[in-house]
Amino acid sequence: MLANNFKKSLLAVNVGLVLSAGISGVAVAAENNQVKEDVEVIEVRGIRRSLEAALNTKRFANAVVDSVSAEDIGKFPDKNIAESLQRVAGVSINRGFVGEGSEVSIRGVDPTLTQVQLNGQFVASTGWFSQAANRRSFNMDLMPSEMIAGLEVYKSPVASIDEGGVGGTVVMRTRKPLELDANTFFGSVEANQNSLADETGFGATGLASWKNDSETFGVLVMASQLEQIGRARKSENYWEEGWSASGIAGFDQDRERTALDVTFQYAPSDELELGAHFLRTELDAFNTNQNFLTINGTSYVNGSGRYTLLDAGAGDVEGNRRYLKGTVTEAGWLAQDTNTRNAVMKSNVVDFTASYMGENYKLSGAIGKTWADGGNGGNANGLWGQPVDGTNGITVDIDMDLANSMVMVPNGVSLTDTSWQANQGASLSKVELEDEETYAQIDLDLDVDWGAISQFEAGIKVRNHEFTAEAYAPTFKDGAIAALGTIADFADGNLTDFNEVVTGGTPTSYTKLNGRKYWNYLNSNVQSWDFQEKDWNTVEEKVLALYAQGNFSGDSYRGNIGVRYVQTDTESQAYNGLFTGKDVFKGDYSDWLPSFNLALDLQEDVILRMSAAKVMTRAGYSQLAGGYSGLPDTVPASGRLQASRGNPAIEPFRATQMDIGLEWYYDGNSLVSFALFNKDVASFITTIKVDENLTTVPVPGNYEVSIPDQGRGGKIEGAEFQWQTNFGNGFGALFNYTYVDATGQTDDGKDIQLPGSSRNAFNLTGYYESDMFTARLAYTSRDEFFAEGTALGNGNDSFDSQSFLDASFTWHATENFDVSLEGVNLTNEITYQRFGGGLNTLRVVTDNGSRYSLKASYRF
C-alpha cells in the first residue's frame, strides 16, 4: 500500500472521493492518486457542503488550485461552464455572440492561453464563425454542465499535468460508476427563455449508473438534450475602417445540443482497475445575422466634427475626409446584409485507462483519440436594398461619435417596407474544419525514501494532432440568382427590440429574414461545389513529453518539484498564394518546463503557499497556417489590397511565473486568503503588417499583409483576495477580488495592454439553504479589457467594464425531487465595445437580454 504524502491525506481522500457530488479531489487526483483506502465517501447534496468540499480541495492541494463542484448530479452551479468559472478568484470570461460565457481568462492572461482538459486529456473542438481565427481553445458551448462533476483551476502547474496553459489549466471531471451508489438514476426536464424572444427552448437529461454487488464492475450512461434560445441586438460602427459602414444588427441563434456520455469501470482486484470512456456531443448552431447597413464606401459625407481620412497618405483635404457625424447623400448603399449559417459541430472522445497498484508503486496508462468537425455549414449571404445615389430620395443621418449609442436615421424609406429591399447580390460559401488528436501515455508513481521526498512520479506521453480547414464555393444553376426579387419572398415579420442600442430617432425594427428558407433556396440551386485551393490549410503536430516529479512532505510542509520536457515537431501545408501548388512548412522546438510548489503549515489553520514554474502555450492554428486568406477576387472599392497569412515558424508563448499566498482557514468552512502573482512573458504573439508584391493571385499588386509576429514580451503582475464563510442558520457568502497589471511590448518597442486583462475584477455570492429551499445570488464585475470582438474587422477592441447579476432558487419538494428557477443577467447589462486605436469611437453596442430557465429533477 502506498504511503500517505502528508498527515492530513486521509481527510483529503475523504473529500476527494465525493464523486457523487462532482468533487474529484485534486489533492488526490493530481498528487495522491496512488492512495487507495477503505474510507467513508462523503455525499455532498447541498450548496454549503459543496462549497466546503471545494474549500478542502484548495486547502489540501499541493499546487495553487481552486475548484467548482456540483451540489449533486445535474446541479452544476450554472448552466454554462464558463459562467461557473468566473466565480473563481482570478478568473474572468469573455462572452460570445449570444452573451453566454465562451472563453476563460486566468489571472489576466489572454483566454486563448487557457488550457481546458477533460479528465486530464485534450478535447478536440471547432467553431462556426469563419471570420474568427482557428484556435486551440475548447468550445464550451459543446459541454453540457449536467455531465460535469467538478472543475479544477490550476493556477500553478505541476510536471505531471500536460503543458499548454500559460494562463492556467482547467480540468473538467466526469463521474464514474464505481464511485456512485449502485442503481443510481437521475432525470430532469427544463425550459428556458430569453427576454428578447418569444420562443421557448426545452431540454431533458437522464443518468443511469449500475455496479455489481461485489463493486468490481460498473456502467454509467448519461444523455442530454437541450434547446437554447440565443439573441443579440446590436448597433455596429465601421466608420473608421476602409469599407466605412454602420448598421443595426440582429443575431438569432436557437441552438440544440445533444450529448451522450458512457463510462465503464472494471476493478477485479484491489490492485487492478480498467476503464473506458466515450463522449459524443453535437451542437446544431443554426443562426442568422441581419445588419441594416449604411454603406458609404469611399464617397463624400456631408458632415462636421471629427473625421477619419479615406487615405492616410493623401493629406487632410475636404474630399478625403470621412466625418463621424452628418448625412450620407450619395455613392453609398442602404441595405440589409444577411448571413445565415447552418452550423453543426461535433466532438468525440474515446479513452481507455488502466492502472495497477503494487506494494510500493502504481503503474498507469491511457490511450485514446478525440476528434471534431464543424464550420459554418454554408454561409448564405444576401444584400437587400437600394443605392444612396442622390436621385431616389434616400439619405441617411448618422452620428458615430456618441459615447454610448449610435444614430442611423434613413430618410425617404421605411425599414419595415419590403417593396424597395431588392436583392443586390447573393452568395454561398462553405467552410469545413476538422480537429483530431491521438495520444498514449504511461505513468509511474513510486514510493521512495529520499529524505523529504516520499514519492517519485515519472511518465511519457506522445500525441499526434492535426487541424484542417478547407472551403468550397458553389456553381449555381442558371438563373437562380437572377430570379431573386425582394426580401418579401423570404420575409418573416419584423426584427424588434433595438431600443437599448440606438438613439436619436433611429428605427428600432425592420424586416426579418426567414434565414432557413433563404438558406434552403440557395443550397437547392447549387449545381456543384468547387474546392477552394487558396483557403485550404492543415497543421500537424507531433509532441513527445517526458516528466519527472518528486513529492515531498514533512510535519509542517508538503509540495512537489519536477520538470517536464516537451519536443514539438510542426508541419503546415497550404497553397502558397501563387496558385502553383502546395507549400510545406516545417518547424520544431523544445521546452524544459520546471515547476516547484510548496505549502507550509505555519499553524494548524494557516498555510503559506509558494510556487514557481516555466510555462508555454503553442500558437493557434490560424497563426501557424502558411497560406494566404482574404485575397480579393476583384479590386476593392477602396483600392487597398489586403490579405493575411500565418507564420509556421512562429514559436509558442512562453513565460516564467511565481506566486506567494497566505491562507487562513479560520473554522471548518471559512477561508480568508491573499496571494501575489507574477508572470514574466518572454514571448507572445502579436500581428504586424508587411508589404508583399503578389503577382499571380486573382488581383496582382502590392499587398498589405497581416502576419503573426513574435512580441518582445511583457509582464503580468497582480493580487488575489478570497473570502468564504458560513454565517450559520443557512446563510453564507463568497467574495473574491483580483487586481492585474498586464503590459507587453511589440517587436518595434511599442507598449501595449495585453488582451484578456481587466485591472480590477470581483465576484460576490450570497446564499441561503434550508431543508426546503436553496437560494443563491451572484454578482460579477470586471473593468475594461481588450479582446477580439464578435464583429468584423481585425485586431483587438476595447470592451467597457461589465457587471452581471445572476440568481437561482431551488425548492426541495421531497428528498429526491427538486424544482429550480435560474435567471442570468437579471439587470440586462448592455455591453460596449470600442475601437482599440484610431479615434477610439464606439464600435458595437450589444443587448443580449436576460435568460431564464425552469427545471424539475428527480434522483433515486
Q: For 755-772, what is each residue's pLDDT tens digit?
A: 888 999 999 999 999 999
Going along the chain from its start, the domains and CATH numbers come out as: 9-296+331-859 (2.40.170.20)
Mean pLDDT value across the chain: 87
pLDDT at 317: 65
Cell numbers of 13, please?
481522500
Asked if 199 and 858 count as a contact pair (C-beta separation under 8 A), the reply is no
Residue with cell 449500475: 210
Whole-structure pTM over 0.75, yes or no? yes
pLDDT at 401: 93
**Which residues 6+ apart lie within 8 Å of 630 measured at CB?**
642, 643, 644
pLDDT at 34: 35
**Which residues 6+ apart lie within 8 Å of 832 measured at CB?**
404, 799, 800, 842, 844, 845, 846
599 alpha-carbon distance from chain centroid: 31
Angle (CA) 623-626-630 rounded to 5° is: 80
| CA separation, residue 215 to residues 22, 180, 267, 642 (Å) | 20, 10, 8, 64
Other CB atoms within 10 Å distance of the CB of residue 464: 14
Cell numbers of 738, please?
483580483
Other CB atoms within 10 Å distance of the CB of residue 604: 9
- List, as one string, the DSSP characters of 562-578: EEEEEEEEEEEEEE-SS
Q: Residue ranges of the alpha helices (H) in 22-80?
A: 26, 47-60
Asked if 829 and 850 count as a contact pair (C-beta separation under 8 A), the reply is no
pLDDT at 316: 64
Asked if 120 and 140 count as a contact pair (C-beta separation under 8 A), the reply is no
Q: How many whole angstroms separate alpha carbon 36 and alpha carbon 447?
A: 14
Q: How many whole angstroms separate alpha carbon 664 and alpha carbon 772?
A: 32
Nearest Cα to Cα of residue 741 among 766, 711, 719, 770 = 719
Q: At what angle do helices 9-16 and 47-60 cross, to 10 degrees?
A: 140
Asked if 834 and 818 count as a contact pair (C-beta separation under 8 A), the reply is no
In this prediction, the residues of the chain whose per-residue pLDDT falls under 50 are 1-44, 794
Could you read off the pLDDT of 544-568 as tens digits, one per residue?
999 999 999 999 999 999 999 999 9
Q: How many whole angstroms separate alpha carbon 284 and alpha carbon 295?
A: 32
**Which residues 6+ apart lie within 8 Å of 736 measured at CB?**
87, 88, 89, 90, 720, 721, 722, 723, 762, 763
Q: How many whole angstroms separate alpha carbon 301 and alpha carbon 397?
A: 10
Q: What is the 3-state secondary structure (H, E, C) of 541-555?
A: EEEEEEEEEEEEECC
Q: How many whole angstroms separate alpha carbon 242 and alpha carbon 650?
A: 29
In eight-state DSSP terms, residue 310 is S
Asked if 368 and 313 count as a contact pair (C-beta separation under 8 A), the reply is no
